[in-house]
Homo-oligomer: A and B are copies of this chain.
Amino acid sequence: MPTISKKSTAMPASAIRKFVPLADAAKAAGTKVYHLNVGAPDIKSPKCALDAVVKKCGELDHISYTNSAGLMELRQGLVEKYYRKIGINIEVPEILIQVAGSEAFAVAMQLTCDEGDEIIVFEPFYTNYNTFAYLYGITLKAVHTDIHQDFALPPVEEMEKLVTPRTKAVLISNPSNPSGTLYSRKDLESIGELCRKHDLFLISDEVYREYCFTDEPHFSAINLPGLEQNVILVDSVSKRYNLCGARIGCVISHNKEVMAAAMKYAQSRLCPPVLGQYASIGALDTPQEYFDETVKEYIKRRDCAVDMLNAMPGVYAPRPKGAFYTIAELPVDNAESFVKWMLSEFRLDGATTMVTPVSSFYKTPGEGLNQVRIAYVLEVPELEKAMKILAAGLLAYPGRTL
């Protein structure tokens, strides 16, 4: 009997999705599960996006390949109708459509690093960065940020300590998944300084750009002066417009060498999903009010979640300024055991709540063991119910440390 590769055997399972079987079992047994574990919002997609797909499928008689870089109409539309409007000035050859943000950052990592090379990240960081780093033999070096300091960046000298001759890039998610931290222009400038000094790429994952809860606008890394050749922007169309399943993202850079190489990766998988590209073209006509409404809604949810969390004895959760996540520190021995216990043992009126343990979002061993990520992707009344269950669960949990 043949054996699978060592790489595949040792590959870590998704920290976010690995408890799905427990949730499925709970549901099969009749339990209602409140999902605060995945960033899968319940917000409606813009109607213009779905209408565009309906129209195209009515007109076309077959769905053929597109150019590997994506449909020109979509690339041009993004440049003119979206990026220009928000002050990101790029030309069509500087944008390439990807199979969602996932492909975009996976390609960016490969574009910058050979096996054995290193990328500086800020922990806690999106756990799939880890997965792809593992697959490509890249080492992630984590700058630690602390929940009790609102995950603020340390001074540039602290970050610089991680730079070695193998360091090729800095990878930041802004606003951050999983912490919701929004990095300021000043933060970006200090990271930019590091990249300029050491000739590093700056991979900026901005898929949550439209979900910022402050008055100052989001500052994109691509607008850092003097870093035109360093910055690779990772973006998601499907995340922005609540079309997560459409799987459309993009990679953007002023660096010609980066874009030429990105095209080779793009050609190897032929083309991005075409129906999702049609939805994305339609989504470009989304009115500003859509985002305004969405942000207003998320602020309500964030405040609901954060207020209720901090009212629970022994729980601490910062009030994030972006994305739709917050990290909470819980009075538990081990967040992973707690999550499992909630799914398999704890019920309140026939329901339970699912959250994500975040220890695997940290690189430093032992960090985040009592923390969970909460995606506030439910409407307030549902979110309240989910939080009440979490509160009750914390009181009943045998591994409670308070």
State the A residues within 8 Å of B (CB).
1-9, 11-14, 16-18, 20, 38, 40-45, 49-51, 53-54, 57-58, 60-68, 99-100, 102-103, 106, 110-115, 117, 128, 131-132, 135, 168-169, 195, 199-201, 229-230, 238, 242-247, 257-258, 261, 264-265, 267-276, 279
Q: Considering the chains assembled together, what is the distance between the CA atoms of A384 and B44 in angstroms?
A: 50
A-B contacts, 25 of them at CB < 8 A, read A2-B201, A2-B229, A4-B261, A5-B113, A8-B110, A8-B265, A11-B261, A11-B264, A12-B264, A14-B68, A20-B67, A41-B62, A45-B62, A50-B57, A54-B54, A65-B244, A99-B99, A99-B247, A100-B269, A102-B268, A103-B269, A135-B268, A245-B274, A247-B270, A275-B279
Q: Considering the chains assembled together, what is the distance between the CA atoms of A20 and B270 in angstroms?
A: 13
Chain B residue with Cβ nearest A132: B268
Q: How many copies does the complex hold?
A: 2
A44-B61 contact in complex given A14-B268, A54-B54, A275-B245, C-beta closer than 8 Å: yes
> Which residues of chain B are near A50, meaning CB under 8 Å?
57-58, 60-61, 63
> Which residues of chain B are near A62, meaning CB under 8 Å?
41-45, 242-243
Q: How far is the CB of A325 from chain B (nearest CB, A)?
A: 15
Chain B residue with Cβ nearest A264: B11
> Which residues of chain B are near A49, meaning CB under 8 Å?
63
A1-B229 contact in complex given A57-B50, A58-B54, A245-B271, C-beta closer than 8 Å: yes
> Which residues of chain B are near A264, meaning CB under 8 Å?
8, 11-14
Do residues B61 and A53 form an inter-chain contact, with CB atoms below 8 A?
no
> Which residues of chain B are near A5, meaning CB under 8 Å?
110-114, 117, 168
> Which residues of chain B are near A247, meaning CB under 8 Å?
99, 270-274
Do residues A102 and B8 form an inter-chain contact, with CB atoms below 8 A?
no
Q: Give the 8 A-B CB pairs with smallest separation, nearest first.
A: A245-B274, A275-B275, A273-B273, A14-B267, A8-B261, A45-B62, A63-B245, A247-B273
Chain B residue with Cβ nearest A274: B245
> Which residues of chain B are near A112, meaning CB under 8 Å?
2, 4-5
Q: How far is the CB of A355 from chain B (nearest CB, A)?
A: 17
> Which residues of chain B are near A12, meaning CB under 8 Å?
264
With A7-B114, A42-B62 known, 15 other A-B pairs at CB within 8 A are: A2-B199, A5-B112, A8-B110, A11-B265, A13-B267, A20-B67, A45-B60, A50-B61, A50-B63, A54-B54, A63-B246, A64-B244, A102-B269, A132-B268, A246-B273
Do residues A63 and B244 form an inter-chain contact, with CB atoms below 8 A?
yes
Do residues A199 and B57 form an inter-chain contact, with CB atoms below 8 A?
no
Do residues A102 and B270 form an inter-chain contact, with CB atoms below 8 A?
yes
Do residues B261 and A9 form an inter-chain contact, with CB atoms below 8 A?
yes
Q: How far is the CB of A343 from chain B (nearest CB, A)?
A: 17
Q: Considering the chains assembled together, what is the distance between the CA atoms of A238 and B40 in angstroms?
A: 26
Q: Considering the chains assembled together, what is the distance between the CA atoms of A265 and B258 in angstroms?
A: 25
Do residues B230 and A2 form an inter-chain contact, with CB atoms below 8 A?
yes
Q: Considering the chains assembled together, what is the distance between the CA atoms of A54 and B60 in angstroms?
A: 12
> Which residues of chain B are near A257, meaning CB under 8 Å?
3-4
Chain B residue with Cβ nearest A195: B2
> Which residues of chain B are near A17, meaning CB under 8 Å?
68, 267
> Which residues of chain B are near A1, meaning CB under 8 Å?
199, 229-230
Q: Considering the chains assembled together, what is the distance between the CA atoms of A230 and B1 in angstroms?
A: 7
> Which residues of chain B are near A230, meaning CB under 8 Å?
1-2
> Which residues of chain B are near A99, meaning CB under 8 Å?
99, 247, 269, 273
Q: Considering the chains assembled together, what is the distance between the CA atoms of A71 and B64 in angstroms?
A: 22
Q: How far is the CB of A63 from chain B (nearest CB, A)?
A: 4
Among A4, A7, A58, which residue has the most Cβ atoms of chain B within 10 A? A4
